[in-house]
Amino acid sequence: MNKFIDPILVLVLLLNFVALGASRMRTVIQAVAVQGMLLGVLIALAHGSLVLWVAMMALVTILLKGVVIPRMLFDAIRDVVIRREVEPIVGFIASLFLGAVGTGLAVLFARTLPIAHGDVGSLIVPAALSTVLTGFLMLTTRTKAITQVVGYLILENGVFIFGMLLMEAIPFLVELGVLLDLFVAIFVMGIIIHKISREFSSVSTQMLSELKE
Amino acid sequence: MSQILVHIFLLLVLPPLLLGVIGKTKALFGGRNGPPFLQPYYDLIRLFKKGSVFSTTTTWVFRAGPVVGLATVLLAGMLIPFGGHSAPVSFAGDMILFAYLFALGRFFTASAALDTGSAFEGMGAAREVTFSCLAEPALFFCFLVLAKLSASLSLTTMLDGTFPLGAGVAAPSLVLVAASLFIVLLVENSRIPFDDPNTHLELTMIHEVMVLDHSGPALGMIQYGAAMKLFVMGAVLLRVVAPFEAANVWADWGLFVVGILILAVVIGVVESVMARFRMVFVPTFLVAACLLSVFGVILLLR
Amino acid sequence: MAWFLFLVPLVFACVAAATPSNRWRPWLVPMGGLTHLLLTGFAVTGQPVSALKGWVVLDPISTLVLGFVSTVFFLCSLYAPAYLALRQERSNRVFCACLLAMLGMMTLVIMAHHLGLMWVAIEATTLATAPLLFFNHSPRSLEATWKYLLIGSVGIALALLGTFFLAYSSIHEGLEPTLLLEDLVHLAPRLSAPWLHAAFVLLLVGYGTKMGLAPMHTWKPDAYGEAPGLVGALLAGGVTSCAFLAILRFYQICSNAPEAAFAREILIFIGLLSMAVAAVFVIRQRDFKRMLAYSSVEHMGILVLGIGIGGVATYGALLHMITNGLTKGVMFLSAGNIHRAYESKSTDDVRGAMQRLPISGPLFLAGFLMVTGSPPGGPFISEFTILIGTIHAGKYWVAGLFLALLAIVFIGMGATVLRVVQGAPSAKAMATPYRDRPQLVIPIIILFVFALALGVWIPHSLDTLLQQAAAYLEGGHP
Amino acid sequence: MSEWLVILGIACHAFSGVPGLFLRRDPAAGQWLAMRLAVLGSALGITGALVALWSPAQLFPVMRLDAIAVIFLIPIFLVSALGSIYGLEYWAQAEHSGNGRKLRVFYGLVTAGLAGVAVAANSLLFLFAWEVMALSAFFLVSTEDHDQEVRDAGMLYLVITHFSTLCLFALFAIWYVATGSFALGALPAGAVTPTMATVLFMLMVVAFGFKAGLMPFHIWLPSAHAMAPSHVSAMMSGVLIKIGIYGLVRMVSWLPDPPAWWGGTLLVLGTVSGVLGVVFALGQHDLKRLLAYHSIENIGIIVMGLGLALAGRSLHVTAWIVLGLAGALLHVWNHGLFKALLFLSAGSVIHSTHTRVIDRLGGLAAVMPFTALLFAVGAVAICGLPPLNGFVSELLIYLGLFRTLGIGAEPSWGVAAFAAAMLALIGALAVACFVKAFGAIFLGVARSDSARHAHESGRVMTGSMLVLAVCCFCIGLFPWAVSLVLELGIAAWVPGLNAELPALRTLAPLGWISMVAFTLIGLMFLIGLGLVRRLHRSRVTAAGTWDCGYAAPTPNMQYTASSFAQMLGSFFVWVLRPEVLVSEKQPVFPGRMHFRSHVMDVVLDEVLRPAYQIGVRISSRFHFFQAGNIHAYLAYIVIFLIVLLLWR
């Protein structure tokens, strides 16, 4: 277990709060981009020896999470002429507070889960869970479609972090995590955002509440 | 066999005399000397001789009314023991037949009334069936009491005056039953204080208004049937109140005739000393009759 | 063989994508469906199928689900050309390709014994179905698709996390890390309880989202309401069954672990909850397609309820997956026809379907009666079996609740369906061009006959297969 | 042999309507064919049933053709065949090209379903036949579904029948768990705990009570009977609701050692539904609704008999078993006959006047003498008056109830004796109600043009009614003829103690009844003859009705049905709760006044509908849950996830 992992995870957690607290969309996206790159680094570190495929995967991750997807997000903001502010349903302070609570819960819950003696003391599980919760928080409290996508990215970053535990054991799984990104990249972003922007001339999902009882 | 013939003879002949007696009693109370005892017979004969008028609106139902009415009462009369003598027709459950025969007669007399299409007859028919709805349960509660007391399901044995449970148990219920039966008898035969067979005041009449449009022989049948109904129900009441029997068979018959005539006098007295109630009280009294007999049953079931 | 099963549809999909003619392309769908059905026939009857060193296996349950999904897909695909002929105004390139791709992916889900691979396949079905929902290209369908994708992908992510947890639960005990079903089933008793517990919850919520269990069902009414009836039928019949299968896999693992009691408890709870939610929303439902969606939620609930009860009910649940799927096919396709004929799916405009559509209307009504469990329909037998299982297990309150909810759902659906089929159609409705055509009703009739037949007589082979599947699920070993 | 005949008969009925679907060229032929098939099927079925009485065969394990089944099969086949004959004229294909085919298909199916239920010895088969019957009946009720009223009636019926089906699910599921097979038969003692046995009993009462229209489960019955075509109403009222009674009779007999209070429950339910049924009937203005409420009343009488028999089983009094069950079973037949007769004659009235409102009819006896006569026969029979069949069955039940007083050596169960008086009340009220109906419809003067221009129905309709009337007379005159069948039925009901069962004729004066009946008819004939001859000799003049001196009587001055029932209704106002609309006081010279009163169904309109509305309101409360807001949707997921994680 590498001694650099935990510090990086701390950074990741801080970025969660940045994403929650930031009022401008660019900042949020940048935060997620940085988080993605950090994850790429994590891959490299998590695996003891830097063999080829690990390097590959780290690279792919950094490219996807850190470059491609943020790029598409920026494009989306540019194409769609919308205000650049995040429009939260719950205020920033409140969401920060909720995020803190979520992180606390995550840590508590992680306590109840026994950790294999190899990884004792690592922040991986709490970090993963709290990131997932942060993602959910973004998903449920941000009105714009794009911010929701960002939230989703954070959520799966959390899932991805947990994958670190399985790096040596079942590397295949981590590859799956990368696949998840591709999925988001291709669909949620590429097609939907553009369609929505074309149909609704604004990417606020509050427009998207026609279908109801 | 001879007994049966006597039974039939009394059933056919005696009823109008009761009306005569009642009339005489009322006359005496009124200080008149009134019509002769046999007046009802003369009236009936006159009616049977008369021609008749039928409303143009009527159909076969109108003619069927009197016929069914008379036939049912006749048959019902065959189920009742007169005096100590068992009825010609007697089997388990004949009391139910007894009640239902009257119902059948009511069905057709009421229908006949409606057949005229007149508001008055309709009113009468409505009242008739309405009140009988209350009289019927009262009658059946009385039957229940009698059946329980005599441990039998046939009128003859119910009314033979022997009570296996013992007179001590029987007496209280019997008193209630007698009272209840008397009310039922007065209502069913449209006597004062519930109805008056002699006035024609539409607002208060029940039975008479029903037969308003009948005339001649048909009317005769109806009045004859009415008299017979009074006679039959009187016989029942008599056996409940005074189940006396003489040693000799023929004396027994005489005893019965005397008894029924006394009953007629009693009715006459009641009619003379009481005024007719307002229509709205009739149901009240019937419910009272029901309750009396219900208590009779409860006394036995406790 | 295994390869063929899920590659052939993909090949067809590519061909469809490549075919230029908008008129002839739809015919590729039934062809693909038929080929797949034949291959399935061989696979099921032939010697045991296994590939990718045990990652892809045809066990009793997969055999059951595969045969069912393949049949439903084929029957629905028969409907596709005629339907798309009605919709010549827009290109069906993506539509056809995605239909076939979806079939391939479903096959993969069904056969996958490696949980990671299964996860990939399910994610792929999500991708494949999204364009199908978006077929109408209306703002409403866009909204439906958006919700489907976002909620679905959240579910997917949770499922992945759950899979991670499961894998870790073996690692944590210092066991040989694996995601192969067999191994996990064997190791189950020794897996770390808390991790397994959390894993099961995550997977239940994750795949439950895909399956449409309350309260993760929220995408369903929108999706089924806006998608073409054909897609609705395939989603309700096929995709949900795959998600159900996924849940079964993990239940299979748990049932060998100390967590079994907990798993059953939760399954029963979710089952009843789904039925209750459906009951609440089906009352006074004016949109008959949304009504079908809620009915689907209800029946998903019945499935997991049956599994949670166990014993005879497991058999019943597996059977119900089939009967309900077939009946849902009947209802969605006939509803699609009614929608076409009235150009509206609200009971405010739709009346007298039995007069307007002498075949689709009665079929819709019959489907409703069958899906609500009236004898002698297929769903009756399965629901009755589940009920017997419940009473056998001594869960009288569950049984009572089950029946009460069935009754409420019946009232709700009945009011809507009768308003649709009875009465006299408006002149406007009579004027629309649509008429019942053989190609549009024969598939429905076939589905109907199948569903009805299952109620009257269950073929011996199917019965034994169900028995084996139930035993496999309960015991964990074929 | 016998079973094959019955199966053939069922098949004939099931397919009777099908050829008509394909004879689009000549639909009338389809109708003829349907009728022929129905008659053939009924002939086969009844023959088979009768054969089965003498030679009980057991060919198929899933089929039981014992005396009880036979007793219910016979009216099913008889009434349905007569109904389809009647339909030839009443629902002639020429006049109803739109729904005639559909009607005949489901008419055949409902008969087949009924017969199927009666012979089923396997719970799955029972449920199949049951649902075929129930659903076809739904389609029959909603034959004229272009009418909103009809649709509502259909919906109500469908919901109720599904309730009873669900109760049957529970019932048979428990049964299966207890016995380990779908075969239906007596539960071995100890197969279920007493509590579970009680649950089973309650389920039976509810499930079959709904189908039979027992108060308070009767709610679907009036509207369904009123809205269906008359021969369908005859079918439903005559035999369809009896299948509920069949289920009750059959399944109750299979429960081991019933406690006495079960019988008490049935007795109370029967009494309540008998009294209230007829009371509500009094309040009706719609001829068919009135008849429908009388079905509720008669079902009540039947259930009273059954309750008595059940109590007899628990207290080991064979006399109660014999009298109660014989009365119940015989009343099943009788009600099947005279209620079918009444509905068919009602249909004949509706067919010629196109109205069901009693107060718009009147004076029809003059123009439709046959119908009037047959209706009168039915009315007398349903009031349980001698010399017709209704009297016989009611007498049996009366005798049984009187015996609960503890006549002779039998134990006393005095509470039940009150039921006897209630039965008397029911009888009296029934008389009142049918005098009202008969009088207002057929007697007096026509109250509307539609009634004025009425005409007698053709031979086909009157003929099929006549058959039923004759049957009513036969049972009334020769009750001893049916006693054997009844005894077989009773023996099949309590297989345990056939040896101890006394013969029916030792308990009931069947011979006397027929003698009295003949005497009564003879007396009427003689007296009638006398009157006629007297009238021939004397002078008979025709004049207008004497109206106590009022000069210009008009039809509107007749006593209407509503006014006829007004006083009786006022006694029961506490349950009838009529809503009365009177136009306010008029000036000195009054002009037009309006008065209308309408009786609602207490259970349906004052309990269930409001309850349903409340349910709807509650459910719509939850709609915010699905408000189209995706954030909320995602929130549900995470909340639910956390809940489940913290579950244990």
- Mean pLDDT, chain C, integer: 91
pLDDT in tens, D136-188: 999 999 999 889 999 999 999 999 999 999 999 999 999 999 999 999 988 88
Identify the pLDDT of residue B204: 61
What confidence category does residue A186 fall into, taking pLDDT thresholds of 50, 70 and 90?
Answer: low
D509 interface with B at CB cutoff 8 Å = yes
The chains in contact with chain C, meaning 3 or more Cβ pairs closer than 8 Å, are: A, D
- pLDDT at residue D59 tops 90: no
| CA separation for the pair B138, B132 (Å, rounded) | 10
| CA separation for the pair B158, B149 (Å, rounded) | 8
Q: How far is B100 from chain D (nearest CA, A)?
A: 6
* B53: enclosing H helix or E strand: strand B52-55
- pLDDT at residue C465 tops 70: yes
| CA separation for the pair C2, C58 (Å, rounded) | 8
| Contact criterion met (CB below 8 Å) for C178 and D599 | no
| CA separation for the pair D520, D515 (Å, rounded) | 9
| CA separation for the pair C453, C379 (Å, rounded) | 11
C194 interface with D at CB cutoff 8 Å = no
CA angle B291, B293, B294 (to 5 degrees): 60
Q: Cβ of A121: how many Cβ atoms within 10 Å?
A: 8
Q: Which of C123, C127, C164 comes nearest A163 by C-beta?
A: C164
* CA distances to D247, D250, D600 from D254, in Å: 11, 7, 38
Search chain C and give the residue with CA nearest A116: C172
C221 interface with A at CB cutoff 8 Å = yes
Average pLDDT for D540-558: 78
CA angle B288, B290, B295 (to 5 degrees): 95
Give the whole-number percent of chain D exceeding pLDDT 70: 99
Search chain A and give the residue with CA nearest C157: A156
Identify the pLDDT of residue C478: 39
| CA separation for the pair C7, C104 (Å, rounded) | 6
| CA separation for the pair D315, D414 (Å, rounded) | 13
B279 interface with D at CB cutoff 8 Å = no
Average pLDDT for A136-165: 87
Q: How far is A127 from chain C (nearest CA, A)?
A: 13
Give the whole-number percent of chain B exceeding pLDDT 90: 62
Which residues numbered 151-190 in A keep a CB inside 8 Å of some CB on C? 152, 155-156, 158-159, 162-163, 165-166, 169-170, 172-173, 176-177, 179-180, 183-184, 186-188
Contact A212 D626 (CB under 8 A): yes
pLDDT in tens, C242-253: 999 999 999 999
Q: How far is C275 from chain A (nearest CA, A)?
A: 17
Identify the pLDDT of residue A197: 65
Contact C192 A114 (CB under 8 A): yes
| Contact criterion met (CB below 8 Å) for A26 and A144 | no
Secondary structure (DSSP) of D407-452: -TTSPP-THHHHHHHHHHHHHHHHHHHHHHHHHHHHSS---SHHHH
- pLDDT at residue A195 tops 80: no
D551 interface with A at CB cutoff 8 Å = no
Indicate the DSSP class of residue C24.
Answer: T
- Mean pLDDT, chain D, integer: 91
Contact A209 D626 (CB under 8 A): no
The ranges of chain B with pLDDT < 50 are none
D555 interface with B at CB cutoff 8 Å = yes
Search chain C and give the residue with CA nearest A115: C172
Q: How far is D634 from chain A (nearest CA, A)?
A: 6
Contact B125 D439 (CB under 8 A): yes
pLDDT in tens, C96-121: 999 999 999 999 999 999 998 999 99
Structure tokens at B258: 């005397």
Q: Which of D623, D629, D634 comes nearest A136 by C-beta?
A: D634
D/B Cβ contact: 3+ pairs below 8 Å: yes
Residue bearing tokens 């759950």: C162
Q: Cβ of D628: how many Cβ atoms within 10 Å?
A: 18
- pLDDT at residue C477 tops 50: no
| Contact criterion met (CB below 8 Å) for B70 and D534 | no
C contacts of D146 (beta carbons < 8 Å): 352, 423-424
D629 interface with A at CB cutoff 8 Å = yes
Give the whole-number percent of chain C exceeding pLDDT 90: 67
| CA separation for the pair D271, D298 (Å, rounded) | 10
Contact D634 A140 (CB under 8 A): yes
Q: Which of D421, D520, D564 comes nearest B137 by C-beta?
A: D421
Identify the pLDDT of residue B264: 95
Identify the pLDDT of residue C284: 87
C contacts of A128 (beta carbons < 8 Å): 161
Identify the pLDDT of residue A200: 59
Specify the range with the lowest mean pLDDT, choosing from A67-71, B68-72, B225-229, C229-233: A67-71
Identify the pLDDT of residue B134: 92
Average pLDDT for A139-143: 86
Average pLDDT for D394-409: 89
C391 interface with A at CB cutoff 8 Å = no
Which residues numbered 71-130 in D keep a CB inside 8 Å of some CB on C? 124, 127-128, 130
Identify the pLDDT of residue D532: 93
| Contact criterion met (CB below 8 Å) for C356 and C274 | no
Query: Which of D545, D548, D562 to substitute to test the interface with B, most B CBs within 10 Å?
Result: D545
Q: How far is C121 from chain D (nearest CA, A)?
A: 22
| Contact criterion met (CB below 8 Å) for C339 and C405 | no
Q: What are the residues whose beta carbons fall under 8 Å from the beta carbon of D223, sequence distance 6 or more? A: D149, D152, D153, D156, D157, D289
Q: What are the residues whose beta carbons fall under 8 Å from the beta carbon of C154, sequence distance 6 or more? A: A136, A139, A152, A155, C209, D634, D637
Q: Which of D124, D633, D640 comes nearest C151 by C-beta?
A: D633
D648 interface with A at CB cutoff 8 Å = no
Q: Between A and C, how many residue pairs show a Cβ–Cβ distance under 8 A?
A: 117
A/B Cβ contact: 3+ pairs below 8 Å: no
Q: How far is B143 from chain D (nearest CA, A)?
A: 9
- pLDDT at residue C224 tops 90: yes
Q: Cβ of C459: how many Cβ atoms within 10 Å?
A: 10
Contact A148 D630 (CB under 8 A): yes
Give counts: helices (H), strands (E), chain C. 21, 2
pLDDT in tens, D272-312: 999 999 999 998 989 999 999 999 999 999 999 999 999 99
C280 interface with A at CB cutoff 8 Å = no
A178 backbone dihedrals φ, ψ, rounded to 5°:
-60, -40
| Contact criterion met (CB below 8 Å) for D364 and D442 | yes
Contact C154 A211 (CB under 8 A): no
Contact C149 A159 (CB under 8 A): no
| CA separation for the pair B200, B221 (Å, rounded) | 19
Closest CA to A57 of A189, A176, A185, A150: A176
Search chain B and give the residue with CA nearest D571: B283
Average pLDDT for D409-433: 89
Identify the pLDDT of residue C417: 95
- pLDDT at residue C360 tops 70: yes
What confidence category does residue C37 fall into, taking pLDDT thresholds of 50, 70 and 90?
Answer: very high
C423 backbone dihedrals φ, ψ, rounded to 5°:
85, -170
Contact B148 D443 (CB under 8 A): no
pLDDT in tens, D12-31: 999 998 888 888 778 788 89
Q: Which of A159, A186, A192 comes nearest C146 by C-beta?
A: A192
Q: Which of C221, C279, C369 comes nearest D626 by C-beta?
A: C221
Q: How far is B163 from chain D (nearest CA, A)?
A: 13
C155: helix, strand or coil? helix
Which residues numbered 410-449 in C keep a CB inside 8 Å of some CB on D? 410-411, 414-415, 418, 422-424
Q: How far is D627 from chain A (nearest CA, A)?
A: 5
Identify the pLDDT of residue B237: 94
pLDDT in tens, B234-254: 999 999 988 888 778 888 899
pLDDT in tens, D481-498: 999 999 999 999 998 777
Q: How far is D374 from chain B (nearest CA, A)?
A: 13
ipTM of the complex: 0.92
Q: Between C and D, how many residue pairs show a Cβ–Cβ distance under 8 A?
A: 132
B218 interface with D at CB cutoff 8 Å = yes
Search chain C and give the residue with CA nearest D633: C218
Position with higher pLDDT, D633 vs B245: D633
Specify the range with the lowest mean pLDDT, choosing from C36-40, C420-424, D96-100: D96-100
